[in-house]
Structure 1
Amino acid sequence: MKSVKHVYVALSGGVDSAVAAVRLLEAGYRVTAIFMQTWHDPHARTVADSELEQAEVAASTAKKIGVPFICLDVREKFYRVVIRSFIEQYLSGLTPNPCLFCNPQIKWGLLQEYALDQGADYFATGHYARLKPTTNGKVELFRGFDRGKDQSYVLAMLSQHQLSRSLLPLGDLTKADVRRLAGALNLSVAGQKESQDLCFLRNEDYRAFLQRHAPEAAAPGEIVNLAGEVLGEHQGLAFYTIGQRRGIRIAASEPYFVIDKDAQTNRLIVGYAKDAGNKHLQTARSNWISGLPPEEGGQYQVMIRYRANPVSAKLKEASMDEFRLEFNQPLRGITPGQFAVLYQDEVCLGGGIIKRTW
């Protein structure tokens, strides 16, 4: 008699993870729902209340679809790995994407490991991406069928081991499909509003969060042009992003863009549109999903931030730890601290943290 595979589904309190759990049930898996209790700002009641509500919704969804529900407390490590890193990177002049730290170290690093330790065969989430086995026994990460919702970018730092024990039941669906399925099942989350914020910010601007937890982020300093001439004063380097045009507030014959941030001198460096592009980037802390770097000299599609349009670039150098790219033409807004993620057609190869540009 064929044994039933057991899968733990990360239930977030949203519509995507709810439908992912139902799809797995319908496919014949034994399902357990797991919710992660993350750190929330004790000074921001809306965040605390929102998390409490999410936990209640997740528990209610698990009950409705008839699966066990587990709440795992990951607050301490979430704060250390995600929150502290978020603050420290901003203070050092970077612009981080905490989701790409959270997924391999928290969601998969804690939840998946807990599930496997409990005897689960797989760990599943509601991400819009696809996994496919290869002939050599490994798995490849593909873009989601719904290109407008594709989330393969935020999974690019997962290891082959983590992905090989994962299921992504929504990869072949559109968001409209998911909402229709949730509606047909009378799930309370069917019409839930789409969340666009980092989970620990909710509806709060990140600047207010930084000012509360790292007041030094609001230290004013000089705005200078590429010649070093002082043009004005900024309100804190952390409040500006490479490539930003709005909010610089300096009168000029043409708009200024943020070109660079010098954390050592607390200077914001600005220039005109013609100065804002770079053809090269170098990364650190790279991850290759196959376990090996791609072939050097090849042309790949690259995303330099989540939801960015992919652009073509040549892989000039690649090792297990870092890589260097040359774009076909200067690209505006390449931002240290963000992740550069490589694709070959529909396959996500991996990525790394952008360290420098030129």
Structure 2
Amino acid sequence: MSGKKVVVGMSGGVDSSVAAWLLKKQGYDVIGVTMQIWQEEEQAVQEENGGCCGLSAVEDARKVAWELGIPYYVMNFRKEFKSHVMDYFVDEYVHGRTPNPCIACNRFVKWESLLKRSMDIGAEYIATGHYARVEQLPNGRYALRKSATAAKDQTYALYNLTQQQLSHTLMPVGDYTKEEIRAMAEEMNLPVAHKKDSQEICFIPDNDYAKFIEENAGHVPPEGDFVDMDGKVLGRHKGISHYTIGQRKGLNLSMGHPVFVAAIRPETNQVVIGNSDNIFTDTVRCTNLNWMAVDGLHGETMKVDAKIRYSHKGAGCQIKELEKGIVECVFEEPQRAPTPGQAVVFYSGDYVVGGGTIL
């Protein structure tokens, strides 16, 4: 691969820094780029909370690029980030769904926008510090393969990448454990060798989703009724954007036993409360499908392992297409709190088959 140009998305963290070093070592012509997506630079205090997009991220990435002897640029993606990530995040909560902003950011900003600009300047690939691997399968399709370390695997958050994007993507960190990556950074004396991993959502550093939604939504959902499974009113809620399926804390309902959010009904502005049994189901439906290892089900039923959230270990299920654009997943065992707006991702062994957005 000697001399092929690759743009590495550098967040200022240890993973992307080592990714750049590995690719340079492999003979690529490496260019470092930090994507400036934060809307107000003076709010870069988010860095203290582990954010990846503010001014100190730029400074750290610049130092690493200098250390590695590679060109480095900052590209402004604020407009794309606001449209595809922040506005989407607010809109989903307002409509009673629970979004996954990192999946949207990966698909539309870190890949779609960065890849286009990178190819415009003559690069053949983009690369990131994600813990995942890209492979071309015998059937010719590109698919993500789980990383060498299950503890850090990030394939769930990348399931929505297209075939074209995958064919121009390198993920060198996926072959290593986090400990090995930190050891490499130490060996190179990189200034970010011991930098902590980013946490929480980068544009909500204080983790107060409801406040962010109130400040950024044109219409904030009003207070409404908590109801039980039979529709009986139990009390008042603060607005549907404050809740997610499976939530137990912060309900302020004295029921004498543990209760959970079982459903959110934006059309009636109700939050449905149930017991633990009510938040388990063996059937999940999804839409907004993206296929990787296969190009669709074509009327067939397929056995896969599916993850319904990032931290989910995955569970066996059968998937089939009910109608064009909607897949039904029937799990072997009931799963806890599959949540509308979140992703369900299908795996065959270590490979991502595809995935979609839970209905």
TM range (shorter): over 0.9
Contact 2:8 2:127 in 1 (8 A): yes
The 1:3–1:25 alpha-carbon spacing in structure 2 relative to 1, beyond 3 Å, is closer
* Structure 2 residue 24 is matched with structure 1 residue 25: yes
Once the two structures are TM-superposed, the CA of residue 46 in structure 1 deviates from its matched residue by 2.4
The secondary structure found in structure 1 opposite 2:353 is strand
Once the two structures are TM-superposed, the CA of residue 231 in structure 1 deviates from its matched residue by 0.9
* Structure 2 residue 291 is matched with structure 1 residue 292: no
Note the 1:109-128 alignment, pairs <5 A: 109-128=112-131
The secondary structure found in structure 2 opposite 1:170 is helix
Match of 1:52 among 51, 55, 63: 55
Q: Output the CA distance in 1 between the equivalents of 2:284 and 2:275.
A: 20
The secondary structure found in structure 2 opposite 1:171 is helix
Q: Which residue of 1 aligns with 2:353?
A: 349
The secondary structure found in structure 2 opposite 1:219 is coil
* Structure 2 residue 339 is matched with structure 1 residue 340: no
Deviations 1:4-47 (A, max 9, x none): 21111001111100000000011111100111110335795623
Deviates most, 8-17 or 208-217: 208-217
Deviations 1:118-151 (A, max 9, x none): 1112110000001122234432210111101000
Q: Output the CA distance in 1 between the equivalents of 2:264 and 2:342.
A: 14
Deviates most, 150-159 or 126-135: 126-135
Contact 2:293 2:351 in 1 (8 A): no
* Structure 2 residue 236 is matched with structure 1 residue 233: yes
Match of 1:251 among 246, 249, 254: 254
Unaligned runs of 5+ in 2: none
The 1:235–1:215 alpha-carbon spacing in structure 2 relative to 1, beyond 3 Å, is farther
- The one-letter code sitting in structure 1 at the alignment partner of 2:223 is P
The 1:99–1:320 alpha-carbon spacing in structure 2 relative to 1, beyond 3 Å, is farther
Once the two structures are TM-superposed, the CA of residue 262 in structure 1 deviates from its matched residue by 0.8
The secondary structure found in structure 2 opposite 1:148 is helix
Q: Which residue of 2 aligns with 1:306?
A: 310
The 1:348–1:156 alpha-carbon spacing in structure 2 relative to 1, beyond 3 Å, is same
Q: Output the CA distance in 1 between the equivalents of 2:222 and 2:76.
A: 35
The secondary structure found in structure 1 opposite 2:80 is helix
The secondary structure found in structure 2 opposite 1:106 is helix
The 1:346–1:271 alpha-carbon spacing in structure 2 relative to 1, beyond 3 Å, is same
Q: Which residue of 1 aligns with 2:328?
A: 324
Q: Which residue of 2 aligns with 1:279?
A: 282
The 1:265–1:212 alpha-carbon spacing in structure 2 relative to 1, beyond 3 Å, is same
Q: Which residue of 1 aligns with 2:6?
A: 7
The 1:18–1:43 alpha-carbon spacing in structure 2 relative to 1, beyond 3 Å, is closer
The secondary structure found in structure 1 opposite 2:249 is coil
Match of 1:64 among 63, 67, 73: 67
Contact 2:118 2:126 in 1 (8 A): yes
Unaligned runs of 5+ in 1: none
Contact 1:34 1:71 in 2 (8 A): yes
Across the aligned residues of Structure 1 and Structure 2, the Cα RMSD in angstroms comes to 2.0
Match of 1:172 among 160, 171, 175: 175
State TM-score, norm by structure 1: 0.93
Match of 1:193 among 162, 175, 196: 196
Deviations 1:257-301 (A, max 9, x none): 110011122111001112111221211110001461147322211
Q: Output the CA distance in 2 between the equivalents of 1:279 and 1:231.
A: 27
Q: Output the CA distance in 2 between the equivalents of 1:238 and 1:173.
A: 39
The percent identity for this pair of structures is 36
Once the two structures are TM-superposed, the CA of residue 106 in structure 1 deviates from its matched residue by 0.8
Once the two structures are TM-superposed, the CA of residue 105 in structure 1 deviates from its matched residue by 1.1
Consecutive aligned runs of 4 or more in structure 1 exceeding 4 Å deviation = 41-45
